[in-house]
Amino acid sequence: MPASREHRHTPDVPAGPARVRREQPGAPALPPGGTATGLSPEQLLVLQRTAGNGAVSRSLERQQGHTHGHDHHGHGHAGGSPAGRDHEQPASPALTADLPVQRLFKRGGRSQTSGAPPAAPEPEPPPSVAVHPHDDPKRHPDSNVRDPLAGGVEAYLDKVKKAKKEEESKRIRDEHARVFEGFLRNTRKEPLEEGIALRRSYLGKHTSLLSSSARVSVNQQIRGEVEALETELRRRKAADRSQKMVAGETEERLLQALRSGGDAAQELPPEEKRVYDALSGRAVDWSGLQDAPAKALILVERRGLEVHEREEKAAGERLEKLRWFAPYKEAGLELRDLLTRTHDHLMRNSLLTSNLALGNPADPSSTIHKLTRGPDETFKNFWETDSSSGQPNRAMRGSREEHLGYKEALNRTAGDFQNPTPDAARDKFSPPDPSLLPKYASLISAKRPRGLTDYGEATVHWKPALRDRCTLTPIDSWQNGVGGARGVTGSRNLYPLLAHGPEVLVRLAVAEATDFRYDREMEGDVNSGKVHELREYFEAHLHGLVKWTDVERIKLVGSPWATAQQARLEQFAQQHGLSFRVETA
């Protein structure tokens, strides 16, 4: 959100490559045609999204003739809310560990397995700062979708019913009635755990009802269902353990180390020392910066480092698929080098700007009149002015800024934390000190010095040093998904912008980084001035107080009061010894 303007909702940028499901080692391929499932298209879609691109999903699609092209990431209901969440005891490792795929066979009247004993459960990774949106649990709190008895269990039950074994059929149905309410419908983990246990109990059931080949198919499908449920269970556990961009002991230790250095820094654990090393050399007065914005910067830096390699890979995979990238590939450019060059170009050569509606200098209520009352005036955020160039929306802004690390400073008084679909009736905030909350800007190409004139006729160019106190999102932070506030990253971890930002800006950045040698069409758009018409931007957030000493220059574009504004600003700068300059377009 560029400064002082609420944003119109724009379509989400295409997300990065989907997460690839880990295949079980040695899994036999599912036979073409599969088995009868009796699933509705909605249930098929749920299983396909939950299991990823695995054999179960492909088999079900072949049976039903459905294809699903809609990517669910980034549409607001995936993240859930910690408020009201049940807190159960952790599931037994026996229910949650990945099982090696084993071929089951009958010997001596009972099921046995071949191969090594089940592997020990993998140790849980450390809690994340925030769950990556592509790793969200697949729960749909308002959905009526039920736990699909897909594939193996349904096929086995169908055979049992056809054989008129009513007692066994009733037992299976009764067992699943307890979990049929839906593993996607709520935040509880018990239905998942019981669904896994029940399915495992069917593995290796051998009866004259099933032929040898049918048993292999049924067991394989049941294993696929177990894997899908285990994946969802792991996602839920990771989400529960995540820090959710809330400052804690780690941020407190890092802040004290940044303020004092010396022994405090040397005593940090290795992962925290990595964050300290990334932040300590920046142009930030950590002692003078208030705790809330300082901890927000630390949280975002930690998240940026967590996703750095993942987003670098996603950015490369995205570029490989784009039509305009073909000349770069044909030229034999090494992808990793090109990504590094583009990343560094964005970091070093982009402009950090905010567009303001300064108004008539003769009007005492105008922005320019208020800002030039004295050299100590600060640039205000929405919470301080309670106004914007668009529609003021405290519910939306507060819910998104919770993802930027400002939970405590926002002081939510009603509604669910980090609500993905906020509204004014249920989401309320009462910040005790509004000045602690961020201001908004844009990171844009130097070829676009006018900035985003939709938001105001005065483009404020901030000094490069202020970038060390900024964070970024690939698109408007009001958007859900990996491009919005949940995709926030640090000012020196910019691969998320290339992976999930507006395609036209990614194209411009790559072209600029290579001096337009491989994209003459984009060079033409720059030379003709067409790039000035772009409305896309990488969003920036300015943390801490922003003052006149942070301003490098102001460019006035199409203002009816341009002459009076320029005179007022130049007089103000000269009177108070400020170094910024004023330009007109």
Task: Provide the H-helix boundaries in 428-476.
Answer: none
pLDDT score at 216: 78
Query: Three-state SS for 314?
Result: helix
The reported pLDDT for the residue numbered 2 is: 56
Please name the residue ranges forming H helices in 31-92: 41-51, 55-64
Q: Tell me, what amino acid is at 22?
A: R
Q: What pLDDT shows up at residue 229?
A: 81
Confidence of residue 408 (pLDDT cuts 50, 70, 90): very high
Q: Helix 41-51 crosses helix 55-64 at what angle (to 10 degrees)?
A: 160
pLDDT for the residue 342: 99
**Residue 177: pLDDT band by 50, 70, 90 thresholds?**
low
Distances (CA, A) of 190 to 79, 90, 138, 182: 19, 10, 16, 11
Q: What is the pLDDT of residues 522-549, one digit of tens each?
A: 999 999 999 999 999 999 999 999 999 9
Distance CA 358, CA 458 (A): 7
Rounded-to-integer distance, Cα 13 and Cα 501, Å: 6
Predicted local distance difference test score (pLDDT) of residue 119: 64
Predicted confidence band of residue 156 (pLDDT cuts 50, 70, 90):
low
Q: And the tokens for 332? A: 């034999």
Q: Cα(118)–Cα(377) distance, rounded to whole angstroms? A: 66
Most confident option among 84-98, 136-150, 180-194, 560-574: 560-574
pLDDT at 371: 98
How would you class 497 by CB atoms within 10 Å of its CB: exposed for 0-12, middle for 13-18, buried for 19 or more? Answer: buried
Asked which of 116-120, 153-157, 534-538 is least confident by mean pLDDT, the reply is 116-120
Mean pLDDT, residues 484-508: 98
Q: Which position has the higher pLDDT, 167 or 312?
A: 312
pLDDT tops 50 at residue 25 = no
Q: Is 236 exposed, middle or buried (0-12, 13-18, 19+ CB in 10 A)?
A: buried
SS3 category, 352: strand
> Which residues neighbour 5 within 8 Å (Cβ) at sequence distance 6 or greater?
355, 388, 389, 390, 440, 454, 455, 456
Please enumerate in sequence order all residues whose Cβ is within 8 A of that of 164, keeping only pairs 6 or more positions apart, or say none: none
Q: Give the number of other Cβ atoms within 10 Å of residue 566's Cβ.
A: 17
Mean of pLDDT values over 383-391: 75
Q: Of 73-77, 259-263, 301-305, 498-502, which range is least confident?
A: 73-77
Instruction: Band the pLDDT of 307: cuts 50, 70, 90.
Output: very high
Task: Return the pLDDT at 27.
Answer: 36
Query: What phi-psi label fits residue 44: left (phi over 0), alpha (psi between -120 and 50 degrees) or beta?
Result: alpha
Across the chain, which distance is largest between two alpha carbons, in Å? Answer: 98
Burial class (CB in 10 A: 0-12, 13-18, 19+), 8: exposed
Q: For residue range 329-344, what is the model confidence (pLDDT) as tens digits?
A: 999 999 999 999 999 9
Averaged pLDDT, 565-575: 98
| Percentage of the residues of the chain whose pLDDT score is greater than 70 | 70
Query: In degrees rounded to 5, what are phi and psi of residue 309?
Result: -65, -40
**Strand pairing partners for 489?**
472
pLDDT for residue 191: 72
Spatial contact of 439 and 385, defined as CB atoms under 8 Å apart: no
Residue 538: its pLDDT value, please?
A: 98
8 has pLDDT over 70? no
Higher pLDDT, 88 or 181: 181
**Whole-number pLDDT of residue 86:** 37
pTM of the predicted model as reported, rounded to 2 decimal places: 0.75
More confident residue, 175 or 420: 420
Rounded CA-CA distance 350/444 in Å is 6
Asked if the model's pLDDT at residue 500 lies above 90, the reply is yes
3-state class (DSSP) for residue 87: coil
For the residues 263-278, what does the mean pLDDT come to?
94
Token code pair at residue 499: 């992976």
Pick the range with the lowest mean pLDDT from 22-31, 188-197, 229-238, 284-293. Answer: 22-31
User: What is the predicted pLDDT for the residue at 401?
Assistant: 98
93 has a pLDDT exceeding 60 = no
Measured CA to CA, the distance from residue 508 to residue 531 in angstroms comes to: 9
Q: Are 190 and 8 in contact (CB under 8 A)?
A: no
CA separation (Å) from 489 to 21, 35, 130, 212, 460? Answer: 25, 46, 11, 54, 23
* Among 503, 473, 493, 467, CA closest to 485: 473
Average pLDDT, the chain: 79
Polymer length of the chain: 585
Instruction: Tell me the C-alpha distance between 195 and 176, whole Å.
Output: 7
Q: Give 562: exposed, middle or buried? Use CB within 10 Å, 0-12, 13-18, 19+.
A: middle
pLDDT of residue 207: 56
Q: What angle, rounded to 10 degrees, do the helices at 335-349 and 503-513 form? A: 100
Q: How many Cα atoms sit within 13 Å of 177 on the Cβ side? A: 6
pLDDT, residue 7, reads 42
Q: Identify which of 522, 388, 519, 355 has the alpha carbon closest to the alpha carbon of residue 447.
A: 522
More confident residue, 339 or 175: 339
Residue 12 has pLDDT above 80, yes or no: no
Task: Kindly report, residue by residue over 431-483, the tens digit of the pLDDT.
Answer: 999 999 999 999 999 999 999 999 999 999 999 999 999 999 999 999 999 99
Q: What pLDDT was estimated at residue 170?
A: 77
Three-state helix/strand/coil letters over 239-270:
HHHCCCCCCCHHHHHHHHHHHHCCHHHHCCCH
Q: Give dist(CA 277, CA 265) in Å, integer.
A: 9
pLDDT of residue 18: 38
Place of tokens 């037994």: 92
Residue 89 burial (C-beta neighbours within 10 Å; 0-12, 13-18, 19+):
exposed
